[in-house]
Structure 1
Amino acid sequence: MHAFGDTDPTRVDESRICSARRSPEHPAIIEHRKVTLEQAEELLSSFRRMAPHFPFVQVPGDATVPSLSRTSPFLLLAILTTASIRDPPLYHQMDFEFKRILSTKVIVEGRKSLDSVQGILVYVAWYPLHANPKNNQAFMYINLATSLTSDLGLDLELPNLNSFGNISTQGLIEGASFTDAAKRAYLGCYYLSSALSLGFQKPPGLRYRNLMDGHGQSLLQDESSAEISSLIKLQRLAERIAEVHRSSEPKGDLQMEALNAEVNIQMFQHEVQEWRKSIATSVRNLPFIGMAERYLGCAIYSHELGFLRRPYRDHLRSMTSNPPVNPAHLESCLQAAKTFCEYLLSLPETSYLDFTAIQWSMVVHAILVLSRLTFVMAANLGWDSDTTRSNVPLVMYLDALCYRFQHLSLTPSDTAETPQNPDVLYVFGMILRSCKKSYERRVAKIAPGFLIVDDANVIDMAARGHCPMLDPALNPLFDISDSTYGGSYELSESATPSTSSTAAFLPQYHDVWAVMTGSWAEEF
């Protein structure tokens, strides 16, 4: 494994993007800073490395910051925000600017354009949900994007040219048809909406339609169409798997339930096999496609076994009196989860830097499934703690991931004190360490007959999970004060307080938007 940036000259020079440090004796304020055109070009170059993981928004190869400032300024702002994620102070500043422009241009002024949709999609695709799920605004943004696609008419086969009175058609239509960029954006909106809804078990904001197949077919001449088609097909299959089990009700007939379970598994596995036959090997070998394929193999069994049901404890209680109808499915689920984790660890560690929120959610779900599977298998097979450790290598997987995150993170980890401005990889590594600590403590309690439920609904503590979001040791990582960032919520010297306006009390950042649409655009 190579250190970050050792072998890839296209990556941004990290020495130029350094996180500010604070000593506990003299807490420093991290000043907001201006983003130069040169720095913006570096961030754009960094985003080009990330972009293949979300092929629904494509930046032309010859595009520059000045050219994008003129044609797609909001998309450019989202790109700069997303690409600055490894530099927490800059990301905080850009994130605020993105939200400010989004609220002003889209919500207040009601502007509707493909540029707005693409910008929101990029922002949501790399939203750092895995590092702070308590602060989850991704649904709000993707629902806004879904609403905009409807306003733009992207849910129709052809554009209604009479309905574009207050809508920008730049990049949206070509002749009497939607552009390829518009079709990709519509498919991307479905992909994100569906994946996020499944992950948090919420109703989807955009349902699958045959029109999406038509859009996929019309993009076949595009070099990235195979990746888009693959992601859409796999996501649709994941959606159907969840729908089947969401709508199923216990029948009371164990033989019939076993038959239904086997039919469902065989049906979905057959569809995955058909998908494999229809996809070129070069596409299947792409990391984000490989992850989606292997995660789907895990999802087929984990949904059937109820590991993703909510509330899970209610399902666990039912499993103690009614064990899985086919115990072989437990072993199959374990092998599928191992396959996913081992594929994840086989990827170059620098590829983790490009993961989208959807790929990180797959990692989280795989860890969750392995954890829950551990205690159900131990109870059903009469394992003790040592046998459990040897059969379910979750601790090894967590150790390997934590080591890689520590290696990739720009936040120092060799101090006893909690860093004031940790990056996303550092935070996620700490979350996994909390999971590992809880998991090891619970595995140590495993003994034959440990999983017991009494009439008072009390489950043995070895089987009860621990959410790292409830770990008080992690609170400092999630509760970083905005005053840390250059007095970002303080008045600048040029701001004049006014009781009649709340605008004076908003953060006074360097106006990146004004520079983008002004001097940068003039460079083009």
Structure 2
Amino acid sequence: MKSNSVEFQSYMIECASSLGQELEHPTGALLLPLVQLQNMADVNYRNLSTVDNTIRNHMNGLDIEMKVQSFQAEFKRWKDSLPIVCQQPNGMNLACEVASMHVYEMDLVNICAPKKRQTTNPCKHLTSSSFTSQIRLEVLFLGLKSAGQLAQNFLSIPISEYGSLSYIQWSSIIYAITIIYRLTVGIPQLRDWDIRVARRTIDFECVLDAFCSRFNSVSLCGRDLLENGDLFSMMGSIFENIKQTYDRVKQLPQNDSADDNSPVHATSFPPSTLE
């Protein structure tokens, strides 16, 4: 399976290189660096993935630090090699933050990450003292900052340009919000993570208010799309639901908020959004 993945990545790079040499559209120049970036992020994500490493052996702080430094050096070389035309677009800025938070969250935050088949979940049985280290928490903090920066970059994009964003770019903001949410309420397998630090670093309430305001204005303009179940037009209601749930959970002590299994507001929408 791993061999097939490497072959596919090589094929993608070959195709992107070819398209970059014979541009049909100006954005074709972005294909090769974006594929390179995704490959780099995937490799470094696997290197730091707790699922991979708790099965084989437990990485110590020095191992993690060296792997992070290696990724940062590789990432800098890649950015320095970009043509000027590729360095400014919003899409490239978003992609850079996605790559960083993907690597730094170390498979601890993203609940949608594919898990390797195994008989037991190693994370479930590890205590806080055996599983965490200061360097691991520092790396996770970098992931939080990347997610926060991605949210700010997304908010800097004019609403008029939202219609031209790709599915991947829309997915990236969902990914970022998931990471910020979980790190500001806590995650069960990292009891040493301090949500107070996370909340001081990212004002999640302010971020949610900005998204609610922005997407509600979009929703009001897309009534006909809303009737057809268009997700884009429902984003305002979705973020309102996230905000309501966060307002409730943030009042709980960290141990309770990290383990919260209460019904969420996102299971229902106001009747006005569905009429």
TM-score category by the smaller chain?
A: 0.7 to 0.9
Contact 1:402 1:429 in 2 (8 A): yes
1:357 is matched with: 167
Q: In 2 relative to 1, CA 213–205 (structure 1 residues): closer, same or farther, beyond 3 Å?
A: closer
Alpha-carbon separation, structure 2, partners of 1:358 and 1:364: 10
Q: Does 1:380 align with 2:183?
A: no
Contact 2:109 2:183 in 1 (8 A): yes
Q: Residue 291 of structure 1: CA displacement?
A: 0.7
Alpha-carbon separation, structure 2, partners of 1:237 and 1:345: 26
Q: Residue 208 of structure 1: CA displacement?
A: 2.2
Alpha-carbon separation, structure 1, partners of 2:37 and 2:260: 30
TM-score by structure 1 length? 0.42
1:283 is matched with: 86
Q: Residue 319 of structure 1: CA displacement?
A: 6.1
Q: Does 1:235 align with 2:57?
A: no
Alpha-carbon separation, structure 1, partners of 2:249 and 2:79: 39
Alpha-carbon separation, structure 2, partners of 1:399 and 1:324: 34
* SS of match in other structure, 2:54: coil
Q: How does 1:64-463 map to 2 (within 5 A)?
A: 208-219=8-19, 220-222=21-23, 223-244=26-47, 245=49, 246-250=51-55, 256-303=59-106, 306-308=108-110, 315=123, 318=126, 320-321=128-129, 322-326=131-135, 327-376=137-186, 380=192, 389-409=199-219, 410-411=221-222, 420-421=227-228, 423-446=230-253, 450-451=254-255, 460=256, 462-463=257-258
* SS of match in other structure, 2:8: coil
Alpha-carbon separation, structure 1, partners of 2:93 and 2:265: 32
Q: In 2 relative to 1, CA 364–276 (structure 1 residues): closer, same or farther, beyond 3 Å?
A: same
Alpha-carbon separation, structure 2, partners of 1:259 and 1:338: 26
Higher helix proportion (structure 1 or 2): 2
Structure 2 residues without counterparts, runs of 5 or longer:
116-120
2:269 is matched with: 474
Q: In 2 relative to 1, CA 289–316 (structure 1 residues): closer, same or farther, beyond 3 Å?
A: farther
Alpha-carbon separation, structure 2, partners of 1:391 and 1:379: 18
Q: Radius of gyration: which is bigger?
A: 1
Number of positions where the alignment pairs a residue of Structure 1 with one of Structure 2: 254
Q: Residue 279 of structure 1: CA displacement?
A: 1.0
Q: How does 1:30-41 map to 2 (within 5 A)?
A: none
Q: Residue 468 of structure 1: CA displacement?
A: 8.9
Q: In 2 relative to 1, CA 407–366 (structure 1 residues): closer, same or farther, beyond 3 Å?
A: same
Q: Residue 325 of structure 1: CA displacement?
A: 4.6
Over the matched positions of the two proteins, sequence identity in percent amounts to 22
* SS of match in other structure, 2:93: helix
Contact 1:298 1:336 in 2 (8 A): yes
Alpha-carbon separation, structure 1, partners of 2:248 and 2:156: 28
For 1:323, give the aligned amino acid: T
Alpha-carbon separation, structure 1, partners of 2:13 and 2:238: 39
Cα deviation code 1:131-163 (max 9, x no counterpart): xxxxxxxxxxxxxxxxxxxxxxxxxxxxxxxxx
Alpha-carbon separation, structure 1, partners of 2:248 and 2:146: 25
Alpha-carbon separation, structure 2, partners of 1:216 and 1:359: 19
2:118 is matched with: none
Q: In 2 relative to 1, CA 426–320 (structure 1 residues): closer, same or farther, beyond 3 Å?
A: farther
For 1:464, give the aligned amino acid: D
For 2:109, give the aligned amino acid: F
Contact 1:422 1:477 in 2 (8 A): no
Alpha-carbon separation, structure 2, partners of 1:347 and 1:216: 26
Q: In 2 relative to 1, CA 249–314 (structure 1 residues): closer, same or farther, beyond 3 Å?
A: closer
Cα deviation code 1:380-406 (max 9, x no counterpart): 36666xx76443311211211121111
Contact 2:45 2:106 in 1 (8 A): yes
For 1:395, give the aligned amino acid: E
Contact 1:427 1:477 in 2 (8 A): no
Alpha-carbon separation, structure 2, partners of 1:464 and 1:382: 15
Q: Residue 281 of structure 1: CA displacement?
A: 2.9
Alpha-carbon separation, structure 2, partners of 1:336 and 1:475: 33
For 1:396, give the aligned amino acid: C
Alpha-carbon separation, structure 2, partners of 1:316 and 1:302: 17
Q: In 2 relative to 1, CA 301–242 (structure 1 residues): closer, same or farther, beyond 3 Å?
A: closer
1:55 is matched with: none
TM-score by structure 2 length? 0.75
Q: Residue 470 of structure 1: CA displacement?
A: 7.8
Q: Larger relative CO (CA 8 A, sep 6+): 1 or 2?
A: 1
Contact 1:435 1:468 in 2 (8 A): no
